[in-house]
Each structure stands twice: as C-alpha cells, then as structure tokens.
Structure 1
Amino acid sequence: MQYPEAIDYLYSRLPVFHRIGPKALKPGLGNTLRLCEALGNPQHRFRSIHVAGTNGKGSTSHMLAAIYQSAGYRVGLYTSPHLKSFTERIRLNGQPIAEDEVAQFVVQHKDLIEAVEPSFFEVTVVLAFDFFARQSVDVAIIEVGLGGRLDSTNVITPIASVITNIGLDHTDILGETLPQIAREKAGIIKPGIPVIISETHPETADVFQEGAQAAKAPLVFADQESHVADEGLLKGVRRIRITRNNGQTNIIELDLTGAYQLKNVVGALTTVAVLQALLPVPEEAQLIGLRSVVRSTGLKGRFQTLQEFPRVIADTAHNQPGISALLTTIYSLPHANLRIVLGLVADKDRSKILGLLPPEAKYYFCQAQTPRSLPAEILQAEAAVLGRIGESFSDVNSALAAALQNSSPEDLILITGSNYIIAELTNL
C-alpha cells in the first residue's frame, strides 16, 4: 500500500470531522487507549506539552516548537487540521512526517484499526504518538483537537498543560456558556502538572483555579505575570515589548504578525519559563525561535501575507472571538477599500460572525469543497439580510480572482472564515 492508498483508506473507512462534523466524534478515550495499548503505550515514552484553547492553540504550539528547536532540542509537533497535506499534522523539527511512514503505519496496523473502529482523528493521534516515541523526541508539543477532557490527545501525561483562552465555539459539543466550555478545556489538567493559562477571563478564572486546586497542580495566569505592549510592524515582524513583574523588559520580534498573537506569545514564553528546570532554553534561543516560527515549523494561514499591492492576507479565523481579534489588526492597516473573501462552515453561529464584519467592506462569498461548507449562495443571502453585500463564487480561488480584478493597489483583501477555505488557496 502506497501513501495515496493509505490516506484514501483512512478517509473512506473512518469518520472524519472535517467532512461530517460532530457525527465523526467517538465519545470517550476508550478507542485511543485501546490503540495505544496495542502499540505499547507510546504516549508514555516521550515528554510532552499539551495545548488547548478556543483560539490560539495552533499558534502557541508552533511558537513552543520553534523555541525548543532553536535551543537544539529534538521536537515533535502534532496539530490539526492540516491545510494542504495530511503529513503537516505530524512534524519532527519542523519537517512533516514522511509519506512512507504513514503508509507503513496503516499497513502494519490495518487489522487493529478495523477491530477497534476508531475515528480518523483517533488514528492520527496514535500515529503521531507512535512516531514521536520511535523518533526519541526530547519533547512533543501536542495540540488538542476539540475541547480537552474527552479529546483523543488527553491520554498523555504532559510536563505542562497550556490553555490559551476560552470563547464560544463548538457550543453544541462543549457547552453554551464560557464556564461550561472552560470545564471541558480544564479536563487536560493533570495531578501535580503545572498549568499555564494565557489569557485571564473573569467568567472562567475560577474554573481553572478550582481544577488546578483539585489536581494540586501549580497554576499560572501568564498575562498576570507579564505585561505585553505592541510596538508595531517592522520589516515583516511584529515587535512586542514584554515587561515582567520583576521589572525586566524585553523586546521580541515575532514573524506571526497578527496583533492577536500578543496574547499567545506571553503564554508560550511563560510555559518556557515554568519548564526551565526540565528543558532549559537560553534567552537568545527564545528570541531566535519567535523570530522564525513560520520558517522553522511550516505554519501557514495565520495572518499570512500572500502578496502586496494590493495586500492580500489569509487567516484561518473561523469563530466569533477569532474573527473579532483578526479585524482589530486589519483595521490598524492602512488601506483604501477593504475586500473580504469569506467562506464558512454550516454548523457555525453565522449571524454572530457576520454581525462582526464591517458593512462597508466589499464581499466575495465562496465555499470549500467539503460537505460541511455552507453553500456560497446561502451565505450571500444571509449576509445581505445583515447589510453585508457581495457576489457569490463556487470556490475561494475564483472569489479571490474577482477581488483582485476589482482592486486598486491601495486596497486590502482579507481571505478568512474557515480552515477549509484557506486550505484550498492555490498560492498559499
């Protein structure tokens, strides 16, 4: 079996969230534990850092990977979903897992997969754990897929648990209030393992304090340990001033240029500080890592500039808090007309997302080639009711082409709304 056949097998045989949504979820950790046990429990054979949160967990995971790589560690990185290739989900020192490794895993464990009948995500998690164990990584950064408590990644015992923030997303699965969602995310807290919360929120702080106290886990709210200030964009990096409670001040340069990354970077740096005794990282390596996150980890789609004149920016923001944070940065950039290429999945609270978007922007509605995607004509009609007017297109590339054709060099084009929309861009 070659790689294309292996991937086709996994997609056709197993429930896949990005195709059918919540129906793909398998309740509980039983399948993952059964798969892990059959493979000799690889999740216990390497050190890991577990990263959860509504938004920012992918960026934070990549920042941590870049920092530890810069310090000379052998670093595994597991994230989801992928944009272009399945192999992006599992990386070693920034390099995607080899296609042959994926094919070999499927061939070797096909009988096990068919006996357990796991979800697609459960198989990919165990594939990552097996790969990291065999590669003897010094540390693996493991991003939660959805929630935390019942997420397949939650079979690890990490050296730190990181929760970036809490917002309203996947409310049909995780709960309809911020405290309910926070309890699901807090499910990654383990006895005695330090917990780092990137962003303090008055509605959820008590949830994390109670969870950490019950687990006797040291708890740090990163934004209470350091103050961050935006120093603006300069030559393709965002300069950030970090002032710690002890008075120490540093200027860091981050190649992830969205202003929303200020909240993520303080969580990443606090995690590195908490783990200094276990995984020492010199300050210079931290600075180098943050300056080269994209280059060293392959991260795409986070306020990524695709071209200039007109400036075209692609961002995977796909929920209300993510879109709100994204627009803050967009409004700070000089431009004539703002043109928004937008596609959403059908199971989101679309009215809240659409209500955040500026009515004066020019809209180009599109859809991804996945069953979860909302048809562009429906999105166009729903947006029109709220005064967001534009044309509809069958795919993101034709929508972008129309936006470019209508633009002057001083315009700004934003492509956003869904991971799947960004994934289908031909020039990403």
Structure 2
Amino acid sequence: MLALKQNAHPPIPSPFGVPDVSDGRPPRTLNDWLSYQQQTHPDAIALGLERVQTIWQRLQAGAVAQRVITVAGTNGKGSTAAMLEALGRHAGWKVGLYTSPHLLRYNERVRVAGESVSDAALIDAFERIEAARGELPLTFFEWGTLAALLVFAESKLDLAVLEVGLGGRLDAVNIIDADVAVVTTVALDHMDLLGGDRESIGREKVGIARAHKPLVLGELDPPDSLLKAAQRLGAKLIRRGREFDCEQRLGGRWQYRQENLKFDLPWPTLVAPCQMSNAATALVAIRCLQPIDQTIAAAALADVQLPGRMQRLQRECELLLDVAHNPQAVQQLARWLGSNRAVGATHAVFACLADKDAPALVAPLMSLVDAWHLAGLPDAGARAHPIAEAWPKVAGLLSRSLVDHHPTVAEALQVARERAAPGDRIVIYGSFHTVAKAMQELSVPGQ
C-alpha cells in the first residue's frame, strides 16, 4: 500500500504567521486551529483512508451534494476544477469547490456559491471534527478535507467539485464516491510518494474512478496502467482524442467536439496553452451530468478567475505569476512565453521547494530568460529551501547567464523590479510558495 507522509499536503503559511497553541489552551481563531492541526498530526507515516473514513462516519453528516465531480492530475486539476465550478454555476446550480493549496488565505480552499467560506464556518467544522476524532490522528490536509465536506453537506449543494491533493487512490477526498471522475494529466511529480514512472503514478490517480461511472481523461496519451485499471474497474472511459476533442482556431477561439456536437468558443480567460484541453475536459465532465449549451459554456469559461496561473499584472513593467512547480508545468509556461515575447527583456524570479528538481524547472526557460533572480524559500516548513542550498543546484546551469541570488522571494523581486525597464517582463514561478510571497509583496488580492 502506498505510504502518505504527514507533509504530503503542507500548508502555505499565513502571511501574518500562525500563533503557537502548544501551551495547552484550546484553539479559538482560525489561525489557532491551523496551528493546532500542524502541531498534533503524527510524525509517523499515515497509510490509507481508514482514519478519515471512520471520522466521517462518526460525523453522520449526510451527502456532500446531489452530484460530485472529483478531479485528479499532475497538472491542470486546479484550473479544471475552477472551470467546473463556473460551468455548474452558470448552469444554475449551487456549487461547492474544494481545492488546495491556498495562496494567501486558508479560506480560499473552500468555496460555496462562488465565495470563500467564513472563518466561523471553518471553525465550527473543526470543532465538530475534534469532538468526533477521539484519539485518531489527522494530517493537516485531512483536517481540511473533512471540514470542507462538512461545510458542503450543510450547504445543500447541487454539485461539489473536489480537487485531489496528491495522487488519488489514498487521498482524503477519495472517501467520497464521485459521480464523475476526472484525470487531467499524468506526469512525473511527487515520485517519492506516487512511484518513479508514469505507469505507477497513473495507477494511483485512477483510484478516484468508480464502477459504471464516467472517467474523463484529459490527455491524449494516458498511461497504459491507468487504462487497464479503469477497464478492470468497469469505469466508463471518456477519452480526449476519442469521445471528445478540442482544436485551436484563428482569432483567439477554439472548437470543442463531442460526438456530433461542436461548440465554437472564445479562449478561456486562463491563457496557458493547456487551458484549451482543461476547458474541454471540464465541459465534457459537466455534460456527463447535465447538457450545457454553447452559450452557457462560453459565458462560464469567460468568468473563470484563478490567481497565480499565468496571472498577468501591469506595474512599472508586466509581471507574470505562475505556480508551475514541475517540468510539465514549466514547459507549458515556456510555450506561452515563446509565443508571447516581451517587447524588452525577460527577467525570471525563481524559487522552488527542496524536494523539487531545480535544474529541470530552470532548463525549459533558459533560452527565453535574459536575467535570472534566484530566491530561497527558508520558511516553507519541512520542504524549506534556503538559497545556500538552492543556488549550488543550478549554478552550473546558469554559469553563463546574467544571474543573482537572494535569501527571499521578496528581495529577489525587489531587485528584478529595480532593474527592469518599461517593456520588460518579470516572470515569477517555481511553487505556490513563490507566487504567494510575490503576491504579498505586490499587494495582490487572492480569491
């Protein structure tokens, strides 16, 4: 059985810090609760879903929604989940969205009817979970998942969209049976936990599928292991390139095709090249539950906002914030940059977590970046990456580049902004932490 370590879903620290509640006083504020959860989950590896299932049964909360779509994938699952939320809302449904990690506020992880839930709603859920769990330990992510499910169960939702945190088979959201399962992409990431190749990772992600229920696959070449496991299970496969497809058109448009149906649609508000396939994947998934016409689809996809996904800001020069943190995602970023060159120079502010392959995240942008500003992530918990450790990993690769390095993202960004001229572009990428730090420095609001 796959082992999930306690830090598989690490929290992004609040910009205001998290208070210490180790003195034994009960948690009161949301930050108190988040601190409590980080301090009490076990150091040992947690296996399976038994603890989460047991506590969910004790809570006796009932159904989380009339319909459930669960979204897994190495990349694209956050964007696809946001598109599903928009499509459902434009279809007239009351929709709940659970996603992770957050950028600026923990509340971003749980949305009902298009709005992040209140501190009070989360605290109430945490109190109920604490009363129900007894001596059973929970990881930080498991606390959040159970809280989201409780909030959804009380919100009388038409649709719940659940984004997998890691893998699929043993992820906490998988205690809920999905009416439609979605796997966006399968690429190499979290290999220490999910396996060292796409076949192993694919087997973990297909674990969200259910017998006789639709399983939507968003990439053209899913691993054989995923396809074989889905067939053994008896899931209803709906594959891009077979049962549905998409194609870019001229004039910023694209076409969605499903059997004899064709929609001519404007490009989604999310600009990355992969967003066309994410939009098509979301559209076919929602149509498994209810027909949606071209007008609703166009309006919904034009309404999707997701901070940190190739998010463009105009200050003294253009800034592009992207949470790309594995090679597949960085290659998508490189494709967009190559097709949308800056008028002037391109600067990169880059920082990644310690367990990432830093050279593989730098290499795709080597020919596109004129000046590199490397940063450390010293306060990212167990995956912290001080610049003294990060810089040697890429020093040889960048030996012929214009490059400087700094202890923090804020300092690297400050230097990049000082050196950038009008018409230049600053690309900020490498992790959710990197983008969150930049958003704080730039005073950019989250969701």
Q: TM-score, normalised by structure 1?
A: 0.90
**Structure with the largest fraction of helix:** 1
Q: Which moved more, 1:42-51 or 1:314-323?
A: 42-51
Tell me, yes or no, if structure 1 residue 394 matches structure 2 residue 407: yes
CA contact (8 A) 1:314 1:414 kept: yes
Q: Does 1:405 align with 2:414?
A: no
Q: State the AA in 1 paired with 2:322.
A: D
How has the CA–CA distance of structure 1 residues 164 and 362 changed in structure 2, closer, same or farther, with 3 Å as cutoff? same
Q: Quick one: structure 1 residues 80 and 24, their matched pair in 2 at CA, closer, same or farther if it must change by over 3 Å?
A: farther
How far apart are 1:13 and its partner, in Å?
2.4
- Is 109-118 or 28-37 further displaced after alignment? 109-118
SS in 1 for 2:267: strand
Confirm or deny that 1:87 pairs with 2:127.
no
Aligned with 1:191: secondary structure? coil
Q: What is the match of residue 213 of structure 1?
A: 231
Instruction: Work out whether 1:160 is the aligned partner of 2:180.
Output: yes
> Which residue pairs with 1:356 in the alignment?
364
Letter in 1 for 2:425: L
Please list, as runs of the form range in 1=range in 2, the aligned pairs for 1:6-155 lying within 5 A after superposition.
6-14=33-41, 26-40=46-60, 42=62, 46-113=66-133, 115-155=135-175
In structure 2, the CA distance between the partners of 1:325 and 1:25, relative to structure 1 (3 Å rule), is farther
1:277-356 to structure 2, matched below 5 A, reads: 280-294=291-305, 299-307=306-314, 310-335=317-342, 336-356=344-364
**For 1:171-228, what per-residue CA distance to the aligned partner results, in whole angstroms no more than 9, with x for missing partners?**
11111111111011011111111100001216x1x32332222122210112432232
Question: Which residue of the other structure, out of 370, 390, 412, is the alignment partner of 2:380?
Answer: 370
Deviations 1:88-137 (A, max 9, x none): 11110221111011122223332434521111111111111111011111
Residue 311 of structure 1 and its aligned partner are, at CA, apart by 1.1
Cα distance, 1:364 vs structure 2: 0.8
Residue 198 (1) aligns with residue 218 (2): yes
Partners of 1:257 and 1:401 in 2: CA distance = 26
What is the Cα deviation at residue 32 of structure 1? Answer: 0.9
Query: Residue 196 of structure 1 aligns to a residue in which SS?
Result: strand
Query: 1:424: Cα distance to partner?
Result: 1.6
Does structure 1 retain, via aligned residues, the 8 Å contact 2:325–2:431?
A: yes
Partners of 1:121 and 1:73 in 2: CA distance? 27
Structure 1 equivalent of residue 247 of structure 2: 228
| C-alpha distance after superposition, 1:219-258 (max 9, x if no partner) | 011243223215466xxxxx33335553734123311111
Partner SS state of residue 83, structure 1: coil
Tell me how large the CA RMSD over aligned residues is. Answer: 2.0
Code of the residue aligned with 2:246 in structure 1: it is H
Please give the per-residue CA displacement for 1:116-170, whole angstroms capped at 9, x wherever unaligned: 1111111111111111011111010000010011111111111100000110000
Pick closer, same or farther for the CA change 1:68–1:6 going to 2, 3 Å. Answer: same
SS of residue matched to 2:320: strand
Deviates more, 1:46-55 or 1:36-45: 36-45
Instruction: Report deviation, 1:265.
Output: 1.1
Contact 1:149 1:185 in 2 (8 A): yes
SS of residue in 2 equivalent to 1:424 = helix
Instruction: Report the residue type matching 2:347 in the other structure.
Output: R
Give deviations 1:266-303, integer Å, cap 9, x for gaps.
11111122222xxx434322211100111xxxx21000
Q: Which amino acid counterpart does residue 364 of structure 2 have in structure 1? A: L
Alignment of 1:232-243 (within 5 A): 239-243=253-257
Q: Which amino acid aligns with 2:34?
A: I
1:20 paired residue number:
none
Q: 1:144 to 1:232 in 2, by over 3 A?
A: farther
Where 1:272 maps in the other structure, the secondary structure is helix
Contact 1:60-1:267 within 8 A present in 2 as well? yes
Amino acid at match of 1:163: V
> What is the 5 A alignment of 1:175-186?
175-186=195-206
Shift of 1:43: 5.0
Deviation at 1:45, TM superposition (A): 5.4
Structure 2 contact 164–171 (Cα < 8 Å) conserved: yes
Supply the distance in 1 between the matched residues of 2:409 and 2:129 (Cα, whole angstroms): 37
Closer, same or farther in 2 for the Cα pair 1:421/1:113, shift >3 Å?
Answer: farther
C-alpha separation between the residues in 1 aligned to 2:254 and 2:347?
A: 28
* CA drift at 1:310: 1.7
In structure 2, the CA distance between the partners of 1:102 and 1:201, relative to structure 1 (3 Å rule), is same
Are 2:430 and 1:417 aligned?
yes
For 2:271, the equivalent position in structure 1 comes to 257
Q: What count of residue pairs does the alignment treat as equivalent?
A: 407
Q: CA deviation at 1:70?
A: 1.2
What is the CA–CA distance in structure 2 between the aligned matches of 1:175 and 1:151, rounded to whole Å?
A: 15
Give the equivalent residue in structure 1 for 2:283.
269
List runs of 5+ in structure 2 lacking aligned partners: 1-27
State the TM-score, normalized to the length of structure 2.
Answer: 0.86
State the SS of the aligned residue for 2:107: helix
CA distances 1:382-406 after superposition (whole Å, capped 9, x unpaired) = 2221126421122222211211111
Structure 2 CA distance, aligned partners of 1:231 and 1:159? 35
Q: Retained in 2: the 8 A contact 1:42–1:129?
A: no
Most deviating of 92-101 and 302-311: 302-311
Contact 1:338 1:414 in 2 (8 A): yes
Distance 1:232 1:58 in 2: 26
